[in-house]
Amino acid sequence: MNATHRPVAVWDGIVRITHWINAIAVLLLLPLGTVLFGREWLGISKPHVEILIDIHAAIGFTLAASLTIRIAYLLAGEGVASWRDVVPHTKAQFSLGIATIIYYLSGCKGKCPLYFAHNPLAGLAYTGFFLFAASQVITGAAMYLLGDGLIPAAHAHAGHHAANTWPPEWLMDFHAFTALLIFLFIIAHLSALALHDIVEKRGLASSMISGNKFFTDTEMDQLQQSGAIPDKNETPT
């Protein structure tokens, strides 16, 4: 058997492009949102707050467009692009997820459980991300667009919020809380990415650029026999 790792096409163009748009948008939105959240403590003037809000909203609408495309692709796509590969729902996926948890708890001793595209634990985390990001888009758009007249509500109430003003405090708090959850997801995602890239040596970090991960012929045989490779995925030799 040939034990040499070879590149195998895993991620298609739409998955990679939306991944990077989502990632860049979130990495810009989080610090901007943090600044806006602490605008009074930072002493930022109202005109500057309004500019920051507009920038934050523009990036948010970009995220909304990319997220809509990715979720639509999850529902309509095939292979690893489909929700079936992302959302754990089969016995095999649950077994692999449990094996991965055991692997983590063991201090990553032994060989990491073999998977083709989405590890079930990562897929579960991505599912959470899509839900949190969608809630961010909806609440953010509601705060920005809904208000009195033509003035965005976020502008009109850039200071303290009375109980009868829009947006209400609870909506702003919910928006901030889900932003915190996304931040925690990023930390977990990057930590797991570094761990798997170092241990598995499959080019996981670069796979969202090239679209390829690296497997041996033996591993590809195991994945094909187990049915872990979706039918619509091409695996060039």
Q: What per-residue confidence (pLDDT) applies to 154?
A: 45
Packing angle of the helix pair 120-145, 13-37 (nearest 10 deg): 50
Q: What per-residue confidence (pLDDT) applies to 201?
A: 85
Instruction: For residue 193, give Cα distances in angstroms to 39, 94, 186, 187, 188.
Output: 33, 20, 10, 10, 8
Q: What does pTM read for this prediction? A: 0.84
DSSP SS3 for 164? coil
Q: Cβ distance 69 to 76 under 8 Å?
A: no
Longest dimension (CA), the chain: 71
Going along the chain from its start, the domains and CATH numbers come out as 6-226 (1.20.950.20)
Q: What per-residue confidence (pLDDT) applies to 9?
A: 94
Q: What per-residue confidence (pLDDT) applies to 76?
A: 93
Give the C-alpha separation, 231 to 218, whole Å.
18
User: For every one of its 237 residues, what pLDDT tens digit does the chain have, with 9 covering 90 and above?
Assistant: 346 889 999 999 999 999 999 999 999 999 999 999 888 888 888 889 889 999 999 999 999 999 999 999 999 988 999 999 999 999 999 999 999 999 999 988 888 899 999 999 999 999 999 999 999 999 999 999 885 433 444 444 444 444 457 778 889 899 999 999 999 999 999 999 999 888 888 899 899 999 999 999 999 999 988 877 865 554 443
Packing angle of the helix pair 46-76, 120-145 (nearest 10 deg): 140
Q: In the 8-state DSSP scheme, what is residue 8?
A: E
